[in-house]
Amino acid sequence: MAVRPNPKKDTSSDYRRNAMRAEVAAETQRLKNYLAPTVEMQDLFLEDIEIKLAGAHRTVHVIVDLPEDQPGGVSLDRISSAAQVISEAMDNDPGDDGRPYNLEVSSPGVSRPLTEPRHWRRNAGRMVSVSVERGDDVMGRIVSVEDDGITLIPELPVKKGMKAKQGDPVRLAFADIRKGRVEVEFAHLEDDPAGEDAPDDQTTAEEA
């Protein structure tokens, strides 16, 4: 006997997942708008907010960075101070629905993908890997960042054990960049232990 497809396939689980995604997206944007002035008052930049749900519980991860004109990374002391102020702001959030949550505050860290012009400006002088829309990928050091793109000095491939060689400056428009990431350099870790090449510094405040 042939089995006929059921035209009334249960889509309730898909509906719930989509509804949850929409809820998280709306709450994320609301918190960004609400917390941005608080973060700016700490002389920091609100990079992003990530919300994860586990039943009735939430984890709210707030990612902060230094303004573009400040070199280096966000120190642990500044992360800790920002976490206290952000926690107080969330305690007094008029739009909060009262569900329990954990608050995590961190700096972006080296794993952050370079997706916006400010990311490239913040990492001027660092070694990066760049995937482009057309042509070969490039690894090199950022020497300048303009409104519409970057200029870097590429590292040329050499045999193992040989000193790295540099090529001629390469200009890449943002429109031609598919993605980019910072390459970890031990020299930067030694010179700037609290900088963006270090792992994320994170402070967690648990709220009822």
Structure-derived torsion over alpha carbons of residues 57, 62, 63, 64, reported in degrees to the nearest 10: -170
Q: Helix, strand, or coil here: 87?
A: helix
55 backbone φψ class: left, alpha, beta (φ>0; ψ -120 to 50) = left
Residue 207: its pLDDT value, please?
54
Compute the radius of gyration of the chain from its Cα atoms. 22
Q: Tens place of pLDDT for every residue, the chain, 208 residues?
A: 555 555 555 577 888 888 888 989 999 999 999 999 999 999 999 999 999 988 888 999 999 999 988 878 899 999 999 999 999 999 999 999 888 999 999 998 877 899 999 999 999 999 999 999 988 899 999 999 999 999 999 998 777 777 778 899 999 999 999 999 999 876 554 444 444 444 444 454 545 4
SS (H, E, C) the chain: CCCCCCCCCCCHHHHHHHHHHHHHHHHHHHHHHHHHHHHHHCCCEEEEEEEEEECCEEEEEEEEECCCCCCCCCCHHHHHHHHHHHHHHHHCCCCCCCCCEEEEEECCCCCCCCCCHHHHHHCCCCEEEEEECCCCCEEEEEEEECCCEEEEEEEECCCCCCCCEECCCEEEEHHHEEEEEECCCHHHHHHCCCCCCCCCCEEEEEEC
- pTM score of the predicted model: 0.74
Q: How many Å apart are CA 49 and CA 51, to the nearest integer? A: 7
Burial zone of 142 (CB within 10 Å; 0-12 exposed, 13-18 middle, 19+ buried): buried
pLDDT at 205: 52
Rounded distance between C-alpha atoms, residue 131 and residue 102, angstroms? 36
Instruction: Specify the pLDDT at position 171.
Output: 95
Q: Retrieve residue 5's tokens.
A: 């497809």
